[in-house]
Amino acid sequence: MVVQAAQRFLRPISIALVALVLVAGCAAPAAPAPAAAPTSAPTAAPTADAAPTAEGQNVMPQGKGPAGGMTQVQATPAFKDVAYATVSPTQTLDVYLPEGDGPFPVVINVHGGGFMMGDKSNPALADQLLAAGYAVASVNYRLSGEALAPAQIEDVKAAVRFLRANAADYKLDPDRFAAFGQSAGGNLVALLGASCGVDAIEGAALGNADASSCAQAIVDWFGPIDFLQMDAQFAGTSCPVTHDAADSPESKLVGAAIQTVPDKVKMMNPITYIDGDEPPYLIQRGSADCNVPPAQSQLLHDALVAKNSADKMTITLLEGAGHGGAEFESEANVKVVVDFLNAALGK
């Protein structure tokens, strides 16, 4: 009887103890210890021995953010949604103007987004360029879901011709045009600078055929150059090796898996057109870019200096930077960009 009474007394206590154990087991686990900070940033351009890794990197289709800029522009366009051609409602641009009467040198911004997304609404460094006395024209172009290559470069060239033909209306100096592109836009501005006067990708039928589509300076931020080499350049790294796939941004641009249509890919490779008459280029890329191999920028620079004066061509590697990021918009790097433009455009 005593044992039975004790069992009846202890049973509720046992149940309570079990409940406490279960509650403790369901509580949020302790926060993991923070990962150790890297001891040092990469110190050299990525090679087989110093390759970018996917850890912590954005490996979405090319372009950071829908419009290529990383900080939201504060300025308001003086002219918005201006049609530079009439084949597609996409073919519009915005013009931002600095203080003053002009005419102003202009930086034509070409957004990123893997040729398949993005728009003109947030041009990179627009506020800083306006403060430096530059007008900014931000361009929309037909994306790969609407039209295959070379529609994209034809649109950019048509936008340049439109702005030059109507420079007085927008307070622009037609002799001082720079083009600035990020990611996919980097490819397009590099192509623009190298293909001045190339009828095959001029798109003259889009309008203002008598005006020039040439630029006097090019700023290429981490643009893909030779699509056919991208996967080979990422081989052996932890970065995704996906550019050859039929559904990659580059393959969607040309309408087939890139390795099956090398002639179409060659058409979108700026190196194809380099002839020694290129304007000054500033090429910048991050050492930890897992979207576009940093070696792509080196290919472009090497091809440019092989046929042009080396002092016209500048390439910089931003240590530890990925596919865009704060390093590109730092005060020090903005100065690099503005100083380059001032020198190239005689400002």
Tell me how far apart the alpha carbons of residues 169 and 156 are, in angstroms, rounded to a whole number. Answer: 19
Instruction: Give me the domain span that covers residue 131.
Output: 79-227+271-345
Domain contains 42: no
Domain contains 90: yes
CB 216 within 8 A of CB 344: yes
277-322 pLDDT, tens digit per residue, is 999 999 999 999 999 999 999 999 999 999 999 999 999 999 999 9
* Order of strands, sheet of 135-139, starting from the edge strand that comes earlier in the sequence: 79-83, 92-96, 135-139, 104-110, 172-182, 217-221, 281-286, 313-318
CATH number at 337 reads 3.40.50.1820
Q: Is the pLDDT of residue 178 over 80?
A: yes
The residue-averaged pLDDT of 132-146 equals 98
Residue with tokens 């920028």: 297
Total residue count of the chain as it appears in this document: 347
Domain contains 234: no
Q: Tell which wins on pLDDT, 330 or 68.
A: 330
Task: Provide the pLDDT for residue 19.
Answer: 35
The residue-averaged pLDDT of 171-193 equals 98
Q: Is the pLDDT of residue 224 over 80?
A: yes
Q: Tell which wins on pLDDT, 205 or 63.
A: 205
pLDDT band at 54 (very low <50, low <70, confident <90, very high): low
58-99 pLDDT, tens digit per residue, is 343 433 333 345 789 999 999 999 999 999 999 999 999 999
Q: Is the pLDDT of residue 212 over 50?
A: yes
Tell me how far apart the alpha carbons of residues 111 and 186 are, in angstroms, rounded to a whole number. Answer: 8
Q: Which two tokens stand for residue 232?
A: 């080979």
For the beta carbon of residue 102, count every other beta carbon within 10 angstroms. Answer: 16
240-259 pLDDT, tens digit per residue, is 999 999 999 999 999 999 99
Close Cβ partners of 318 (under 8 Å, ≥ 6 residues apart): 284, 285, 286, 287, 327, 328, 333
Q: Name which of 167, 94, 97, 181 is nearest 131 in CA terms.
A: 97
CA 249 to each of CA 164, 246, 255, 306, 308: distance values in angstroms, whole numbers, following the listed order: 31, 9, 10, 29, 31
**Span of 40-44, 225-229, 266-270 with lowest mean pLDDT:** 40-44
Domain contains 2: no
Dihedral, CA of residue 108, residue 113, residue 44 and residue 339, to nearest 10:
10
Task: Provide the pLDDT for residue 51.
Answer: 61
Does the pTM surpass 0.85? The reply is no
Instruction: Give the percent of the chain with pLDDT over 90.
Output: 79
Instruction: Give the percent of the chain with pLDDT over 70.
Output: 80
Domain contains 185: yes
Domain contains 322: yes
Please give the tally of structural domains in the chain.
1
DSSP state of 66: T
Close Cβ partners of 325 (under 8 Å, ≥ 6 residues apart): 64, 70, 286
pLDDT band at 193 (very low <50, low <70, confident <90, very high): very high
CB 134 within 8 A of CB 217: no
Domain contains 279: yes
Tell me how far apart the alpha carbons of residues 267 and 168 are, in angstroms, rounded to a whole number. Answer: 33
CA 47 to each of CA 150, 178, 225, 229, 288: distance values in angstroms, whole numbers, following the listed order: 31, 31, 17, 14, 11
Domain contains 97: yes
Task: Provide the pLDDT for residue 47.
Answer: 37
Tell me how far apart the alpha carbons of residues 187 and 110 are, in angstroms, rounded to a whole number. Answer: 9
pLDDT band at 347 (very low <50, low <70, confident <90, very high): confident
Q: Is the pLDDT of residue 8 over 70?
A: no
65-76 pLDDT, tens digit per residue, is 333 457 899 999
* Beta-bridge mates of residue 218: 179, 281
